[in-house]
Amino acid sequence: MLEGLREAVRKFLGGGSTYKDSVEEFIRDLQRELIRADVNVALVKRLSDAIRQRALEQEPPPGVSRRDWFLKIVYEELVKVFGGEEPPSVEPRKVPWVILLVGVQGSGKTTTAGKLARFYSARGYRVGLVETDTYRPGALEQLRTLAQMSGALFYGEPAGRAEEIASRGVKELESRGAQVIIVDTAGRHGYGDEQALLDEMRRIADAVSPDEVALVVDAAIGQRAFDLARRFHEATPIGTIIVTKLDGTAKGGGVLSAVAATGARVKFVGTGEKVDELEPFDPQGFVSRIMGLGDIRSLLERVREAEAEERAVKVVEEDIEKGRVNMRTIYAQLKSIRRLGPLSRVLEMLPLSTLPVKVGDEQVKLGEEKINKWLHIIESMTYEELDDPDIIDRSRMRRIAVGSGTTVNDVKELLAYYKSVKAVVKRLKRDRSLLRRFGLQAGE
């Protein structure tokens, strides 16, 4: 599924063409792979337009190449298509937690019920399984066997109304201490005629008041999952989606994107036939795998750091312009100093001999060790101390030193640096001509 996307990424990183041409070529490759994976054509077009617009209009922060920045854009837009950044929590919000599994025949509901039992049993929950399917021969014994394999409690009846069996089963398992109760339902109707199935599903939901309704979808149906999920949701609110047989079809991208387009969340995906081959779905991890970006998190972290430093530069510039300096200013400046932060640019332009305080090279070009030490010190300060460092007396210095794993002398050194910066900024505030020399306007 989407195997060609990795090759498109490698080709893009290899360069050769201009950035704009490379972007267009990558988008064409992406479109081809997504359509091949049965992703809706209109969705592919919207995705392509969004990627193209961001790639050509947005500029990467300092220290990040345009090609790395482009891959970040592609990654973020694909994550949106496949469900968003935050996967749904797999943990029950209370006990007992009742999960109602619904879906059409052949989607793999009963097998999925057994896999869920194994999943939650492995996490330390006492699990119970209820079989309400009295139509399919062998359904009762299949789920009973799966319950034994996972050590789960079991309840089922060979005949009767599904909603009554479900109600009795949930009550029985709850009395036996089940913390997660999974109710399997019939799926005897095809994709074109689900009305009887939907009516039965609604009656079961009314009878057991489930905490979660999970629609089980076969990945092979591709983008048809959109209409299926919508129809089921109209009958009873679908909380989550479980996609089965994802490993056995090229249409996985289609089903995942179609489900996300309904507003529902994919919670689990089946990755094989074995009872333990069910895993929580993580859109970020999925996109990272199909793009072949095993180190995507380090790339994103690098971009985030660059963006944070860019914001820090703005903080320092605003403080200088307004003549305001506190430890928050120093913290921002220290974060950005490796990229020749605003203070460094200011000091290089000033006639230092005229300043009331001498600021030497050691203070301007702080070593890595000193920067890290000072950041730790600032992080150990209270909000009050951050806003007004002048209140820090010897008692506060000792507390800050202990909290940051440094010495009182280290804290004193930082405070001396703060005072020298404050003196420089005051000088700038008084002399508007100096501000104009590096493009700032004096605040009123």
Q: Which residues are annotated as a binding site?
A: 103-110, 184-188, 244-247
Give the pair of three-digit tokens for residue 2: 């989407």
Q: Is 220 exposed, middle or buried (0-12, 13-18, 19+ CB in 10 A)?
A: buried
Residue 109 near residue 160 (C-beta atoms within 8 A): no
One-letter amino acid at 359 equals V
180 pairs with which residues across the strands?
97, 127
Residue 277 to residues 227, 248, 280, 316, 422, Cα–Cα distance (Å):
27, 13, 10, 52, 61
CA 312 to chain centre: 24
Q: Which residues are annotated as a binding site for GTP?
A: 103-110, 184-188, 244-247
What amino acid occupies position 168? R
Q: Tell me the chain's radius of gyration from C-alpha atoms.
A: 30
The burial class, CB within 10 Å (0-12 / 13-18 / 19+), for 130 is: buried
Residue 243, strand partner residues: 217, 269
Residue 176's Cβ-count burial label (10 Å; 0-12, 13-18, 19+) is exposed
Evaluate whether 226 touches 261 at the Cβ level (below 8 Å). yes
If one counts every other C-beta atom within 10 angstroms of the C-beta of residue 5, the result is 24
444: Cα within 13 Å, side-chain hemisphere: 0
Distances (CA, A) of 216 to 145, 147, 197: 20, 19, 14
- The size of the chain, in residues, is 444
